[in-house]
Structure 1
Amino acid sequence: MGVDLLNVEGLAQLDQHAPVVMLNLMRFHPRSLDGDGSGWDAYLRYSAVTVAMIKARGGTLLWTGDARAVALGPQAGHNWDFVALVHYPTVAAFLDMMTSDAYETLADPHRRNGCAEHVIVATREAYSKFKTA
């Protein structure tokens, strides 16, 4: 995600051994910044690389879908195209992936080319119908 954007200090305050689900909110560029298709196309290239990195750390992609509309709350600044929920067995596993050389060189360029904005929110389970472990 680029070391410049990664909230290492905030993540360091979390229990490094606790499981985490990352809520990803994305808005895509109309065209990929590298000129290779759309922002969505670049995001698909990013996903092709990162899913293997997530699985290698014991994580899993739980759910993805199109963001359709803001249903409650202010709409300004919340025009997302896509949402993904990604489970990691620990916060440390997420940090390991995001700070790896492989992520920085193989995945992040596609993310940057495709996403006009990408926000990731670390969540802790309070209730789930689905078992992630």
Structure 2
Amino acid sequence: MAAADPSQEELKKVLQETPKDQPVVMLNLLRFRDRAEYKDESEECSGRDAYKRYMDEAAECVTAVGAEVVWSGRSVGSLIAPPEESWDQVLLVRYPSISAFLAMIENPDYKGVLKHKTAALEDSRLVANVENGL
């Protein structure tokens, strides 16, 4: 099932289950649309270009909560995955805490740039991770 935004139910569950006192690394798996799909149809660009716009405009919101992009790169293929699950881009963003992540996604400025992400993505995954070993 294609997904671009977290459900409120899943967000609540992750917020409850994630330790509050340690960093969180968000794994983003991204599949872009060939052409971005803006609701107002005023934007004409590729999905990849729309996502770059999102990243550029969201950067201030990310740094404002103390987060940073740890790694970003183009996916070249999956070795262990269902055949229909392929990704164009992988992105790792480290937040000082799950509370910092929540503060960012609730920021009105951040909400204002989400239109680019929504227009850009055909499908995505967002996986919260903590550094606590096995």
Please indicate the TM-score interval, normalised by the length of the shorter structure: 0.7 to 0.9
2:16 corresponds to 1:8: no
1:110 CA displacement: 0.3
Check 1:6–1:37 CA distance in 2 against 1; reply closer, same or farther (3 A cut): farther
Secondary structure of 2:122's aligned partner:
strand
Specify the alignment match of 2:46 in structure 1.
Answer: 38
1:118 CA displacement: 2.1
Could you state the TM-score of these two structures normalised by the residue count of structure 1?
Answer: 0.84
Unpaired runs of at least 5, structure 2: none
> Deviations for 1:54-88, whole angstroms, at most 9, x for unmatched residues?
11111110000011111123222x11110000000
Number of residue pairs aligned between Structure 1 and Structure 2:
125
> Deviations for 1:72-117, whole angstroms, at most 9, x for unmatched residues?
23222x1111000000001000011112211112x21000010111
Q: Distance in 1 between matches of 2:69 and 2:103?
A: 17
2:64 corresponds to 1:49: no
Letter in 2 for 1:22: M
Conserved in 2, the CA contact under 8 Å of 1:29 and 1:114?
A: yes
Equivalent residue for 2:117, pick from 99, 111, 122? 111
Check 1:97–1:6 CA distance in 2 against 1; reply closer, same or farther (3 A cut): farther
Specify the alignment match of 1:131 in structure 2.
Answer: none
Q: Distance in 1 between matches of 2:45 and 2:8?
A: 25
Identity between Structure 1 and Structure 2 (%): 31
Q: Distance in 1 between matches of 2:29 and 2:95?
A: 17
Check 1:126–1:61 CA distance in 2 against 1; reply closer, same or farther (3 A cut): same
Specify the alignment match of 2:66 in structure 1.
Answer: 58
2:29 corresponds to 1:25: yes
Equivalent residue for 2:129, pick from 118, 123, 127? 123
Specify the alignment match of 1:92 in structure 2.
Answer: 99
Conserved in 2, the CA contact under 8 Å of 1:2 and 1:104?
A: no
Letter in 1 for 2:86: N
* Runs of 4+ more than 4 Å apart: 1-6
Could you state the TM-score of these two structures normalised by the residue count of structure 2?
Answer: 0.84
